[in-house]
Structure 1
């Protein structure tokens, strides 16, 4: 995420908006310059001059205000277009980087972080040419009135430029901390509100409220510190502005008494000096705000960088896998150690073991969702050669299947229209055809993920069908039939075991007959 890409969103709009911004800034000073002659004409009772200067001031002020509104509107369009590009890049990066990402982190990055960058960077950049034009035009106006007044104004402005730099680092840290605390808050909400019904069941609301309040307080304190840093910058700049205006006003009064400048300058010099200070102050503040966003923009850039995913990556369909010296350490000091496992192509494995021995964790290590502390997982092709696996060819049916907004058919095909012709056959293979008939729209029934219009068993059948229709070479099933009745489970199991896919099935409630249907059983013990 950078300024160059923002400009590329629409070169033409960016250029003419900046030109208009400069023109509007210069027009503000132009109106002030006309005011100087207006006051002199009033003193001299020159009614013709008064009428002309009033008309000129009116045109300049109205034109400037109109341009400012138009600029704000057009720039907001550019901001939204650019943010949309960044969101698309973020979504693509998160999809292709093969890493697990917390939902709260993704939400924070795509909403809060982009809004912070917009407020602290892109909303400020267009203000800089406007106030920069005011600053330069006001200096020219002061120079045209008296060179000494101009010189004093330059000295004051140089001091005003360097003083705010004292708190620049503080502003950067405060901005980054807001993002960090907001991410933490969203993560807390995601973890606790996902189990809201359970908390209600056990009347544990007090704990929820306490945790939520603590996380909210951290966000509040981060925003307060950021505001405090911003206000320090404003106060410092304002103090320099006040001292400068007092000096210039005194000097102007002196020159008027000596008839060195016209009477109208008494007000105009003060206005020009104020505009010089305000122009410089706003430019400095704008640059400070923009610089404070650099670190956050760098983070967004890392998570929106392009990841090219193509067939040339050397990936092959995996048919078998082995684990060697595999273990996983947890932050609390616990450790899971797994035996070396060698699963051959087409083999059907029943994975069982003690509670907490790491059966589900082993699947996540195989899928790459977790990174092992020691050891590795290797995949092989049909000839036993170690390969870089095409992970899309591994089907995974977790205990709590993931479904998406869409129809039953779309959740089976995963939105691949080319697989539509195979849906009916696959539905029959997982014993789902009778369930389909119960829905008003059959296979085209829209899933309501909020009201849950399907049962747990139906959810598992959809995901089983998903793995089957995508011709998964390896299928990992974690209690994937726990919500399906035993008769249907037997029917599904027989078809799965007769398929060519390599199958690893976690189950606790299988009888002896069902166990004997597998080639072998691997039992994990908890140390």
Structure 2
């Protein structure tokens, strides 16, 4: 993610912006040069030449300001388009990763940090580019007046820009501190918001305020510190610029005194100098901002990195799932050790055990989601060889019922609406004892689910929707974690029976099952502490 990538993302806008900046620089230099001709016309007392030049200057100013405004609009358009693409890549990268997603971190990067990058990195790049084009045009224009004067401007410009590096490291640190403080505040709010009902019940809202306000004060301190360093940098650059301006005007006055330059040049040089110093200050400030944004760029670039693609083999070829020497170590010092076991293709296995023995954790280990696990989870092919499977082919139903914004039908079919899918949906709705539930909704399967927490949708209804969804899509392996805990006993038997009526391999966690249900499974694996 660099400014080169941004320029390549829309070459037409990039070319247009460079052209507009060049036009502004050319006409700005021309406008300053006209000052010499105006003074000369006054000295000659030529009113016709004077007013003609004034009219020409007005036209140049209109063109210059128009191009400048258009350039500002197109620059912002290009930056926001590129940031939108980066935001999409961030979401895609998040979608493909196996690790759990930190929502507050994603929010901070996709909103706050990207907008800060737009201002302090990409816009600063265009500011530097515009300033450099302007200085180059001024250099050539002033060279036509006096080569030594142009060299003096070039040297002082380079010196001033180089001096801006004095504060660059400090600016980088305060920008990093501000970004981190924003992220911590967002996480703190995200942690406390779900507890509002509980804190209201016990009248402990002061605890919420205290924790959130504490992190808010940290962000305020970071912003104040950033403002202090930034203003110190601007103060330093302003004073350097004032010294340069004084030296240059004295130098021009000396050349006029020696009759090397005309008196009109003094007025023009003031305009050239003002424009040059403005560009130098903008470049210096922008360089500091770009250096300051390096931490944010590095962080987002890391988020955009996608794991190198491995050659996965389809699970359709798997014959045995074998787990050996598995254990999981937790930060509190607890270690869960699992017995060695194998599951053959097509087997329906019930995983049972007391609470806390690590049944749910075992499913995450098989899925590759538990990073603290040791041991081996091997998938053996029909040829007896180990292979790296595509774990996305495993159907996983967790204890949490996750529903998408959309209709019940959308949640079952995952937004597929062809005739075969519709017929299949109606078939599974009947098989999974969901017909009575659907009839209670005025819009049936087309009833909209606005939120995962809608109180009109019971826990059992949510579980049925998720089980029907998984039944609709053929998976070679299913890992199921208490998927029927909220379904009444009569429907529970039928639902599990229908779900197990498949050639898929199933490893199912469930509590308090009747003997009628346990008999539906081929065997049980019992976990003990």
Query: 1:319 & 1:106 partners in 2: Cα distance?
Result: 39
The residue aligned with 1:73 is: 73
User: CA distance change for structure 1 residues 370 and 226 in 2, over 3 Å: closer, same or farther?
Assistant: farther
SS in 2 for 1:395: strand
The residue aligned with 2:507 is: 504
Residues 99-138 of structure 1 aligned to structure 2 (within 5 Å): 99-138=99-138
User: CA distance change for structure 1 residues 170 and 456 in 2, over 3 Å: closer, same or farther?
Assistant: same
Shift of 1:241: 0.2
User: CA distance change for structure 1 residues 184 and 430 in 2, over 3 Å: closer, same or farther?
Assistant: farther
Shift of 1:169: 2.5
SS in 2 for 1:484: coil
Q: Deviations over 1:393-434 (max 9, x none)?
A: 322222211111122122112224463331112222322121
- Paired residues of 2:169 and 2:291 also in contact (CA < 8 A): no
Shift of 1:21: 0.3
- Of the three residues 422, 436, 447, the one matched with 1:445 is 447
User: CA distance change for structure 1 residues 157 and 106 in 2, over 3 Å: closer, same or farther?
Assistant: same
Say which is worse superposed, 459-468 or 340-349, in terms of deviation. Answer: 340-349
SS in 2 for 1:303: helix
For structure 1, list consecutive stretches of 5 or more residues without a partner in the other structure.
none
1:352 aligns with 2:352: yes
Shift of 1:195: 3.6
User: CA distance change for structure 1 residues 199 and 503 in 2, over 3 Å: closer, same or farther?
Assistant: farther
Provide TM-score, normalisation by structure 2: 0.90
- Of the three residues 480, 485, 491, the one matched with 1:482 is 485
Query: 2:382 & 2:192 partners in 1: Cα distance?
Result: 45
Q: Deviations over 1:179-230 (max 9, x none)?
A: 3333333333323223433333333322222222233333333333433343
Provide TM-score, normalisation by structure 1: 0.90
Residues 187-202 of structure 1 aligned to structure 2 (within 5 Å): 187-202=187-202
User: CA distance change for structure 1 residues 227 and 429 in 2, over 3 Å: closer, same or farther?
Assistant: farther
The residue aligned with 1:232 is: 232
Query: 1:98 & 1:11 partners in 2: Cα distance?
Result: 35
Residues 294-333 of structure 1 aligned to structure 2 (within 5 Å): 294-305=294-305, 313-317=312-316, 318=318, 320-333=320-333
- Paired residues of 1:22 and 1:129 also in contact (CA < 8 A): no
How many aligned residue pairs are there?
525
User: CA distance change for structure 1 residues 202 and 525 in 2, over 3 Å: closer, same or farther?
Assistant: farther
Say which is worse superposed, 242-251 or 176-185, in terms of deviation. Answer: 176-185
The residue aligned with 1:427 is: 429
For structure 2, list consecutive stretches of 5 or more residues without a partner in the other structure.
none
Residues 376-415 of structure 1 aligned to structure 2 (within 5 Å): 376-381=376-381, 385-415=385-415
Query: 1:246 & 1:75 partners in 2: Cα distance?
Result: 34
The residue aligned with 1:63 is: 63
Say which is worse superposed, 324-333 or 396-405, in terms of deviation. Answer: 324-333
- Paired residues of 1:430 and 1:461 also in contact (CA < 8 A): yes
Q: Deviations over 1:24-70 (max 9, x none)?
A: 02322221121233244345543223212211221122211110111
SS in 1 for 2:304: coil
Say which is worse superposed, 285-294 or 102-111, in terms of deviation. Answer: 285-294
Query: 1:185 & 1:524 partners in 2: Cα distance?
Result: 41
Shift of 1:382: 5.8
Aligned Cα root-mean-square deviation (Å): 2.8
User: CA distance change for structure 1 residues 375 and 92 in 2, over 3 Å: closer, same or farther?
Assistant: same
Query: 2:111 & 2:512 partners in 1: Cα distance?
Result: 44
Query: 2:77 & 2:173 partners in 1: Cα distance?
Result: 29
Query: 2:30 & 2:85 partners in 1: Cα distance?
Result: 39
User: CA distance change for structure 1 residues 271 and 100 in 2, over 3 Å: closer, same or farther?
Assistant: same
Shift of 1:451: 6.4
Shift of 1:309: 7.2
- Of the three residues 441, 465, 470, the one matched with 2:468 is 465
Say which is worse superposed, 401-410 or 283-292, in terms of deviation. Answer: 283-292
The residue aligned with 2:523 is: 520
SS in 2 for 1:400: coil
- Paired residues of 2:347 and 2:505 also in contact (CA < 8 A): yes
The residue aligned with 2:46 is: 46
User: CA distance change for structure 1 residues 338 and 145 in 2, over 3 Å: closer, same or farther?
Assistant: same
Query: 2:175 & 2:22 partners in 1: Cα distance?
Result: 29
Query: 1:412 & 1:371 partners in 2: Cα distance?
Result: 31
- Paired residues of 2:407 and 2:445 also in contact (CA < 8 A): yes
1:212 aligns with 2:212: yes
The residue aligned with 2:23 is: 23
User: CA distance change for structure 1 residues 437 and 106 in 2, over 3 Å: closer, same or farther?
Assistant: same
- Paired residues of 2:350 and 2:510 also in contact (CA < 8 A): yes
Q: Deviations over 1:331-373 (max 9, x none)?
A: 3433333332323333333333333322222222222222233
Say which is worse superposed, 56-65 or 264-273, in terms of deviation. Answer: 264-273
Say which is worse superposed, 357-366 or 39-48, in terms of deviation. Answer: 39-48
Query: 2:139 & 2:501 partners in 1: Cα distance?
Result: 86
- Paired residues of 1:181 and 1:219 also in contact (CA < 8 A): yes
Say which is worse superposed, 101-110 or 455-464, in terms of deviation. Answer: 101-110
User: CA distance change for structure 1 residues 359 and 210 in 2, over 3 Å: closer, same or farther?
Assistant: farther
